[in-house]
């Protein structure tokens, strides 16, 4: 078994254990392998070990890997999870299955207009920044509800849920508190009638806290592929 396969197995065990502790089904949480800065060959190895969903942050790098792995296009699901600028929306709309980092109506409108008609609707998540960190992208708590309702009616898009990247904290309780805020917002939007099913939250260091607070998708990179030489 390859190192990547071993590390994937370890992460899957962590996810399953956290789900059990939370009283949730082990199948309630999906794994997104964050492959930014890692090679197409490493993605291929992860696919051989049973992983099919991959997250990328940098558009040009991602497009090169999507092209290199074109033979697997029907089997791989590509998620764009990095900050998305207006000049990159066409590439995201054309080549990706998901965009997690929608934080402005303008970006969503461009994705809607540029999604090719022959493709299914683009799955999107509204990125929220509930901690108010200036260094992080995401809609504020004050704007999130109205923005979510605006995104939900755009054609060629399917609003699936919320994504967040909270400030790093050291304790499980502090991590849970940060994720609880986005979980509560997620519940509010569902109670408002939005058909959301995805809470994209949790990374290598805090996936247990995210799962305890109802995350349905965790984004794991270095714990699968190893230490990055750059961010």
Reading the block at residue 120, the tokens are: 């299914």
DSSP β-bridge partners for residue 220: 33
Instruction: Report how far residue 111's alpha carbon sits from residue 37's, in angstroms, rounded to the nearest whole number.
Output: 25
Helices (H), the chain: 3-21, 40-48, 59-68, 89-95, 105-114, 141-152, 172-191, 207-212, 222-225
Per CATH, domain 3-225 is 3.20.20.10: yes
CB count in 10 Å sphere of residue 44:
17
**What is the model's pTM?**
0.96
The predicted-structure confidence for 70-97, as pLDDT tens digits, reads as follows: 999 999 999 999 999 999 999 999 999 9
Reading the block at residue 53, the tokens are: 């969903």
Reading the block at residue 189, the tokens are: 């939007």
The predicted-structure confidence for 104-151, as pLDDT tens digits, reads as follows: 999 999 999 999 999 999 999 999 997 777 667 899 988 999 999 999
The predicted-structure confidence for 8-44, as pLDDT tens digits, reads as follows: 999 999 999 999 999 999 899 999 999 999 999 999 9
pLDDT at 203 over 70: yes
Could you state, in order of their start, the residue ranges of all structural domains in the chain?
Answer: 3-225
């Amino acid at each position: 078994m390859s190192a990547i396969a071993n590390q994937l197995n370890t992460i899957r065990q962590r996810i399953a254990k956290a789900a059990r502790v939370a009283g949730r089904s082990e199948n309630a949480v999906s794994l997104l392998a964050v492959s930014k800065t890692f090679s197409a060959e490493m993605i291929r190895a992860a696919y051989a070990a049973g992983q099919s969903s991959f997250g990328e942050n940098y558009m040009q790098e991602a497009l090169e890997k999507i092209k290199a792995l074109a033979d697997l296009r029907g089997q791989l699901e590509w998620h764009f999870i990095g900050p998305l600028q207006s000049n990159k929306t066409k590439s995201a709309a054309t080549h990706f299955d998901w965009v997690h980092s929608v934080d402005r109506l303008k970006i969503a409108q461009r994705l809607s207009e540029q999604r090719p008609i022959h493709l299914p609707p683009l799955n999107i998540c509204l990125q929220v920044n509930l901690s108010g960190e200036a260094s992080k992208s995401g809609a504020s708590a004050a704007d999130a509800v109205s923005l979510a309702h605006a995104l939900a009616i755009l054609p060629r898009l399917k609003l699936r849920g919320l994504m967040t990247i909270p400030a790093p904290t050291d304790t499980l309780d502090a991590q849970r508190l940060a994720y609880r805020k986005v979980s509560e917002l997620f519940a509010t939007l569902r109670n408002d009638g939005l058909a959301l099913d995805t809470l994209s939250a949790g990374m290598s260091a805090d996936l247990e806290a995210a799962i305890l607070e109802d995350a349905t998708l965790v984004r794991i990179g270095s714990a699968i592929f190893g230490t990055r030489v750059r961010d």
